[in-house]
Amino acid sequence: MFGNTKSAFNLSVFRSADTAQHFLQQCYKQQQRDDAVQRSYTNCYPFLYYLEHGQNFYAAAQQAPLSIKPVLLFYGMVQLLKACLLTIDPNYPESTSVLAHGVSTRKRKKQGYEFLDDEVKVQKNGLFTHFSEKMFHVKQEAGEKFRMGTLLQRICELHETFFFLGGRKKPLSLPIVHNVSPPILAIPKTILDHYHMSLSRFVQYIGEEGQGRKLVFIKEEGEFLYFETATPLSSVGEGPFLFHLNGTYHIPTKKEKIFTLPEIHAHYLLLYNLSMISRYETEWWSELLHSYSSKAYIFILQFLSVSAEKVPLLLNEYLMQKLLAKPN
């Protein structure tokens, strides 16, 4: 009865200029733009080229040595993000300010540097702040810092690694049962103990954190709390629920800000920092890859493997949601 799976990354539906033009025209009409037809013709080839360039980066990353993989994955992601931006921002790039990365990191690492404690800082302008606001309606504060170890916790596939390597006494998330038709969520009752909440308080909390998704409490039965939702869960922007590559969804056991951050943000920030390290901290990076001297190596290795598969899938899902959206 319950279950959900995701299709593999596939953008073949956008392979022709004609298809891309009609798709973009549909997106712009949804925005009620008077120039929908004109802008769709202008942007259809850049849209296709961004997708093709992004896929080429990911294909190269599959064959590349680990030492340069972060660079290829980061720029592959950047190209796919630019294609996604063209569906919501017909004038992209309207100025050079949105072409920068939008984040920064310390160029030279201090003695005793530990990757999990490293941070990236949000800049006022750039791709990160632009796609965050345009695609996910999340306003980023300039100067805000994100710690690598915290960002890695946003990646659901790494939660078991955190549990076994981090000496944690409880898991970072619990699997929920997701029924697609009718859309029903079954959340383990043990979440009440993790959140230190009564049932009534949790029902209120999950409604507030649903990011516009209306969840209606149905019943408490057995080991689960059952909720009805208007639409099935999606892999994109579904905080506080976390999507796993095996097709399941999870709920975090901690009420922390990082779990309300769209997962795409975490991948972008982690890949940015790793690509910078790969390019400018060659000695530290090479030592990590060859000496296995830090547990960060295990997290980085697993993250890169997950990100190579998951980012294209998430952004493909973003585009497919727009393709299947009903016209106004």
Residue 67: pLDDT over 50: yes
Q: Residue 2 pLDDT > 60, yes or no?
A: no
- Name the token pair of 184: 């029903």
DSSP 8-state symbol, 180? T
Residues in contact with 326: Cβ distance below 8 Å, sequence separation at least 6, in sequence order: none
pLDDT at 41: 96
Which carries the bigger pLDDT value, residue 299 or residue 13? 299
- Site of tokens 């901690």: 254
Model confidence at 132, in pLDDT bands (50, 70, 90)? very high
Q: How far apart are CA 34 and CA 44, in angstroms?
A: 17
Residue 108 has pLDDT above 80, yes or no: no
Q: Whole-number mean pLDDT of the chain?
A: 89
Q: Where are the beta strands (DSSP E) in the chain?
A: 103-105, 119-122, 145-147, 173-179, 184-188, 215-221, 224-229, 242-243, 249-252
The yes-or-no verdict on residue 61 having pLDDT over 70 is yes
Contact status, residue 296 vs residue 302, Cβ threshold 8 Å: no
Burial (0-12, 13-18, 19+ Cβ within 10 Å), 187: buried
pTM: 0.93
pLDDT at residue 311 in the model: 96
Round the CA-based radius of gyration of the chain to a whole number and report it. Answer: 21
In contact, 80 and 311? CB cutoff 8 Å: yes
Asked if the model's pLDDT at residue 4 lies above 70, the reply is no
